[in-house]
Structures are given as structure tokens and as C-alpha cells.
Amino acid sequence: MKEKWNHLMKKDGAKTVAASVISILIGLLVGCIIVIITGLTSGNMDSASVWDGVRLVLGGILSTGRDASGSLTFGFNPTNVGNMLFRATPLILTGLSVAVAFKTGLFNIGAPGQYLMGTAATLITALSIPTSAVPSPIVWLLAFLAGVLAGALWGAIPGLVKALLNINEVLACIMTNWIAANLVTWIFDNSVWRNLEEYGKTNYIYKTSHNGVETARAGLDALFPGSQVNWGFGIAVVIAILVYVFMTKTTMGYELMACGSNRHAARYAGVSDRRNIVLSMAIAGALSGAAAALYYLSGNTEFYWQTYQSLPATGFNGIPVALLAASNPIGVIFTGCFMSMLNIVGQQLTSLTAFNEYITDVIIATIVYLSAFSLVIKLWLSGRKKHKVQPPAVPAASAADGKAEKGGEDA
């Protein structure tokens, strides 16, 4: 058994997965410690409340509330699981956006701006085309493609700046983020898409269901009653698989990763590094735009149009999703679900205990911090240590011959 384990841990993929799992476990342990310390130092919590908090940190996704006696109950909670899958959808796609850029040696911190541009294009298309003249599935498809295209175009801008002017993509992405925030606010400021029918919601844009456009549930509402889940999650999984195939099984994907490994060596080998930089950022932007499109095409989400003072957290949350998955497109599916699960756990802590959801933010921060040290964890798992370099051993026969020759010279 030990030999099989050692053989398995020699594989880089297995060590990467193990490093991510260790990061998650340590993060959850830190969350439990914070709950215990907070509970014990608080004057209005007893040991039972602390234990409830620990149980919710570890298994809040399975919480079914409290029974008549006030005790926490656990089991399969279809509403929580469905909402987890729904919220994981944009996280998977923004995680893919960051991961693709990472693979090409770029840091796409511009996902929030790409997400915003995808949001604007999706909502405008979905709410502008009358479904009385065009079937709603066609409008849905056009709106989705509009969001993808808008994100791709916005992502290509820092790519062009990097490729042609060699300006750091991080600086370019930060600028395009805030330009997008102000541009989207200006577009919706005096538009006809603002929600004027519901009192107190004048700062929101209509849901796409206002025009009869929404992602099909196709039975998922029966499987996960009371949740927001739809087939957008399935689309996100398919996109992740396609990205994996593209990056690992195609010539273009190989060129992108070669450019990320060494831009100058790739150019020497005949790969157009400038073209691949622009292409990588365009693909990353398209994925962020797809994240926004699937989120708002659900038909049950509203967009707050005054975005000039803040950027969508979903864009930034793609960074820890990609880090924890080591930029593996298939791994992003699971880490996106995990981050979404922590969001549900935070809500459970707030609604069922005296703790608040910020504990889960600490857990995520700890996991991300440890993910940055994944190489150290992988070295530890492989049992590699630094040894002082020793000179090669001299065979006994050679040593004897050497002594004989020395004796002859002395004679």
C-alpha cells in the first residue's frame, strides 16, 4: 500500500490535487478555530452555540435548519445544493478566464470589467429584441453570444496593449475595469431598461424574464425545489471541458501554453507571441462575458446599474478559483463549486447562529494564501530535502592504484 502511495505521489497531478486539498483542510480548520475563539470570548454564546458554528463551517451546505427543540438538523438540502450550483456557474467561468491567462503567462485581473461589458451587452440584447417577433430561445442565444463577444473585445484591449507596446497587462486591466464600470453606468443611466415597474427598484435593470427570456430549467426545479438553479451550470461545465480539450489537445492551445512558458523561446520556434497574447486575453474576456451572460439570463437576477463606485466581486473571485485549481480547467469546476458552497455556508452561519458570514471570507483568504505556496506543499509531499552536494565516491580499486602510483613516485 505504501509503495502504491509513493508511486502515486510521484505524479505531478496527484501532488497538485493533494496540495489543494491540504489548503482547503487547513482553511476549514482555521475557520473552526475562529468560530471557537469568537464564541468563547463572546458573552452571549455558550458551548452549544460554538459547536453549532463549527458544524456549520464543516457541513453548512447540508443544514436543513432547526427542529422544534431548536437543535440544528442536517441532511440533503435541495435548496442549498441548487443555489450552490447556480452561484458556481459564474465562478467556474471567471475561474476559467483567469486560468487561461495564467497558462499563457498573463494575469487577467480585468475579469470584472469584462464581466460588466458582458452584462451590459447581454441585458441590452435580451431586453431589446421583442419576443413577440423573435422566438425567446433565439433571443436567449443572441444575448448569450453578445455577452461573450463584448467580453472578448474588452479582454483583447489589454492584450493588444501588452503585445504591441509591452505595457504590463495588470495595469492595462485595472484601467479597463474602471472604464467599463463608468461606461456601463453611463449606458444604463437614462436608458429604457431601468426597472420602473417595481417600487424602490429604480437603480436596477429589468430581469430578462421581463421580456420572456430566461435559461431553461428542464426539470432541475423539481430536483432542487426552491433554488435558482438552471441549465446554465451544465453549459458552464461543458465550456470548461471544451477549454481543457482546446488547451491540451490542439495545436493552438499548445502554442498558447508554449508562449506562456517562454515567450522568447516560442518566438524562436516560429510561434507568434503577439498574436497569442491577444488571443489569450480575448478568450479570457469571452469566458468572463459568458459568466455574466449565464448569470443574468437566468431570469431571476437583477443588475444594479450604478456600478461606477465598485466592481463585481464575481470577477475577482475567479482568481482564487483558478489558483486553487492550479489553472486546470477541469479542476476549476470543483473549486468553483467549493467557493460557492462556502458562500452558502456563510449564509447559514448568519441565519442560524450569532456568527456572521465574514468567517467564510477568512477561510477563503487562508485557502488562497496557502494556494500561493502550493509548490512548497508539493515539495513537502514528495519528501524532497536539500542535501549538500558530495563528491562522487572513488572505487576501491582506483584508490589502491592511486596509492601504488604515489608510492612509486616517492621511491
Question: What confidence tens digit (pLDDT) does each residue in 298-321 have?
Answer: 988 888 877 666 788 888 889 889
Residue 340 confidence class, pLDDT cut points 50, 70, 90: very high
pLDDT (average), residues 1-27: 69
Q: Is residue 411 predicted with pLDDT exceeding 50?
A: no
Q: What is the CATH number of domain 78-327?
A: 1.10.3470
Minimum mean pLDDT range among 8-12, 155-159, 204-208: 8-12
Q: Is residue 379 predicted with pLDDT exceeding 80?
A: no
Question: What confidence tens digit (pLDDT) does each residue in 37-47 have?
Answer: 888 887 777 78
Cα(257)–Cα(265) distance, rounded to whole angstroms?
A: 12
Question: Structural domain boundaries of the chain?
Answer: 1-76+338-402, 78-327
pTM attached to this predicted model: 0.86
**Range with the largest mean pLDDT of 72-76, 278-282, 364-368:** 278-282
Question: What confidence tens digit (pLDDT) does each residue in 381-395 have?
Answer: 666 544 444 555 555
> What pLDDT is recorded for position 95?
94
Q: Are 111 and 286 in contact (CB under 8 A)?
A: no
Spell out a b/e string for 305-328, using b for 16 or more CB atoms within 10 Å of the CB, else e.
Answer: bebeeebbebbbbbbbbbbbbbbb
Which segments of 220-328 does DSSP mark as H helices, in order?
220-223, 232-249, 251-261, 263-268, 273-296, 313-324
